[in-house]
Amino acid sequence: MPNLPAWRRFLDAEFGTPKPGCYRARPEDFIVDEQLDFMPEDHGEHLWLRLEKRHQTTLDVVKSVSRLCGVTPRDIGYSGMKDRVAVTRQWLSVHLPGREAPSDLGASLAALGVTVLEQARHPRKLKRGVHRTNHFTLRVSGEALQGGRFVDRWESLCRQGIPNYFGPQRFGREGRNLQRAQVLLAKGWRKRDDRQGMLLSTARSFLFNELLSERLGDGTWRQPVAGDTVMLEGTQSVFTVDTVDERLLERAVELDIHPTGVLWGVGEHAALQVAPYEMQLMERHPTLCKGLVDSGVKRAHRALRARLISPQLTWEPEAVLLSFGLPRGSFATAVISELIHHPDFD
Catalytic residues: 83
Q: Is 159 left (phi over 0), alpha (psi -120 to 50) or beta?
A: alpha
> Which string of b and e fits 143-153 if b means at least 16 CB within 10 Å?
ebbeeebbeeb
* Chain centroid to CA 134: 9
Give, for 153, the enclosing helix (H) or strand (E): helix 149-160
Dihedral (CA of 146, 147, 151, 152) sign:
negative
* Contact between residue 198 and residue 237 where contact means Cβ atoms under 8 Å apart: no
Amino acid type, 7: W
Check: CB of residue 310 under 8 Å from CB of residue 325. yes
Which amino acid, residue 326? L
Angle between the N-to-C axes of helices 198-218 and 275-284, in degrees from 0 to 180, rounded to the nearest 10: 130
CA-to-CA distance for 1 and 182, rounded, in angstroms? 7
- Chain centroid to CA 312: 20
What's phi and psi for 163, nearest 5 deg? Answer: -60, 125
At 171, is the secondary structure helix, strand, or coil?
Answer: helix
DSSP one-letter string for 292-310: HHHHTPBPEEEESEEPPEE
Q: What are the backbone dihedrals phi and psi of residue 90, each rounded to the nearest 5 degrees, phi first?
A: -160, 165
Instruction: Choose among 257, 274, 158, 157: nearest CA to 215.
Output: 274
